[in-house]
């Protein structure tokens, strides 16, 4: 058992209340006594009980982050940005994985509220019901939603990348490369950020009088693998694919290779996220970069403002810019020129 306040009191010849006031720098303790208590605490390797202190003060100095799928490398950089910001502010970050399950998400929310976390970051596709939204908004705990458009759920702060612009960048780039039949592998319609990417993509492709083939399924590597196999069996005229995230792009590339085809010689491939693996795979993946680390930091900064200032109740919304990163998984069709004026 570790050193207690009673041990320090016995060592210094004072009562426990005096030790507590001295360690918490409460008014009413003489300077000499405070120094004596601090020296004894250091000598006895005293560590404060943060749980007990949190119960007394109502402050846990703990934030929580609920993500949808830890296997997606996108979340590693997102969580790192959030953890760094929390650590620098003297907070701890608890990570919860919902596995895309609404029931698991709700269970985590209830548990986190019971543990008196001071704020929750949520990056999940499991929609919140009106009753769950009301419960969260009435809990008094600040909530920041990641990758959810502000219009999709009211009353909460949001941090997200410009998904519409990212989809438009991908579609416009592939059209400029000369592709005229382009597949888009994506998730369900109700997935807010993926829906915005699809809208931007369709706008760019159809505006150029090309054909956009939207294929929906499970937005994971395994899901994209199955979608890609199906698309290849049905449409032989597809020359390019835009995957809604990099994990899906990796799964789609595997399906292309298993079909005896090549990337980019037979099919150009573009992803979304720009995870670290995108620059390592062969061929390196052309993708839309979104600032994942910065998103995590921004979300925690908003949480801390709201947690430390109860009067600061107006939701904040942060939209971060995206950019296209061109690598070797895409190519310009013969006779076309890309945006930089380079011919194939």
- Whether domain 57-162+292-321 has CATH 3.40.50.2300: yes
Q: How confident is the model at residue 344 (pLDDT cuts 50, 70, 90)?
A: very low
Tens digits of per-residue pLDDT, 17-52?
888 778 776 667 888 888 888 888 888 887 766 545
Q: Summarize the confidence of residues 267-274 as an average pLDDT.
A: 97
Map out the domains of the chain as residue ranges: 5-48, 57-162+292-321, 163-289
Tokens of 23: 């360690």
Which comes out higher in pLDDT, residue 66 or 154? 66
pLDDT given for residue 342 in this prediction = 44
- Please tell me the class of the 5-48 domain: mainly alpha
pLDDT given for residue 60 in this prediction = 63
Tens digits of per-residue pLDDT, 43-80?
888 776 654 555 444 556 889 899 887 777 888 899 99
Question: What is 225-267 written as a DSSP string?
Answer: HHHHHHHHHH-S---EEEESSHHHHHHHHHHHHHTT--TTTT-
pLDDT given for residue 59 in this prediction = 54
pLDDT above 80 (res 245): yes
The residue among 157, 192, 210, 184 whose CA lies nearest residue 288 is: 184
Residues forming a β-bridge with 241: 183, 269
Q: Summarize the confidence of residues 113-135 as an average pLDDT.
A: 76
Question: Do 57-162+292-321 and 5-48 have the same topology in CATH?
Answer: no
- Please tell me the class of the 163-289 domain: alpha beta
Distance spanning both ends of the chain, measured CA to CA: 72
């Amino acid at each position: 058992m570790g050193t207690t306040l009673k041990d320090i009191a016995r060592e210094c010849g004072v009562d426990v209340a005096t030790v507590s006031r001295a360690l918490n720098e409460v008014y009413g303790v003489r300077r000499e006594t405070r120094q004596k208590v601090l020296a004894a605490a250091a000598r006895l390797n005293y560590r404060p009980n943060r749980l007990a202190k949190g119960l007394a003060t109502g402050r846990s100095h703990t934030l929580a982050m609920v993500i949808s799928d830890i296997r997606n490398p996108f979340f590693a950089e997102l969580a790192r940005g959030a953890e760094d910001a929390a650590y620098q502010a003297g907070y701890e970050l608890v990570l919860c994985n919902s596995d895309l399950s609404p029931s698991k998400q709700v269970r985590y929310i209830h548990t986190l509220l019971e543990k008196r976390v001071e704020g929750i970051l949520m990056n999940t596709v499991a929609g919140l019901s009106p009753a769950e939204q009301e419960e969260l908004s009435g809990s008094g705990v600040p909530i920041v939603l990641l990758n959810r458009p502000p219009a999709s759920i009211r009353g909460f702060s949001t941090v997200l990348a410009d998904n519409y612009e990212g989809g438009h960048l991908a579609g416009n780039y592939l059209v400029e490369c000369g592709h005229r039949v382009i597949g888009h592998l994506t998730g369900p319609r109700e997935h807010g950020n993926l829906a915005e990417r699809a809208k931007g993509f369709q706008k760019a492709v159809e505006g150029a009088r090309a054909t956009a083939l939207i294929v929906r399924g499970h937005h994971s590597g395994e899901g994209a693998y199955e979608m890609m196999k199906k698309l290849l069996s049905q449409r032989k005229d597809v020359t390019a694919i835009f995957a809604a995230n990099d994990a899906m792009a990796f799964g789609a590339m595997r399906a292309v290779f298993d079909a005896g085809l090549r990337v980019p010689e037979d099919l150009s491939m573009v992803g979304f996220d720009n995870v670290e693996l995108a620059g390592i795979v062969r061929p390196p993946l052309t993708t839309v970069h979104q600032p994942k680390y910065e998103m995590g930091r921004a979300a925690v900064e908003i949480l801390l403002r709201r947690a430390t200032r109860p009067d600061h109740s107006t939701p904040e919304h942060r939209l971060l810019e995206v950019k296209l990163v061109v690598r070797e998984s895409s190519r310009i069709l013969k006779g076309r020129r890309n945006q930089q004026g380079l011919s194939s």
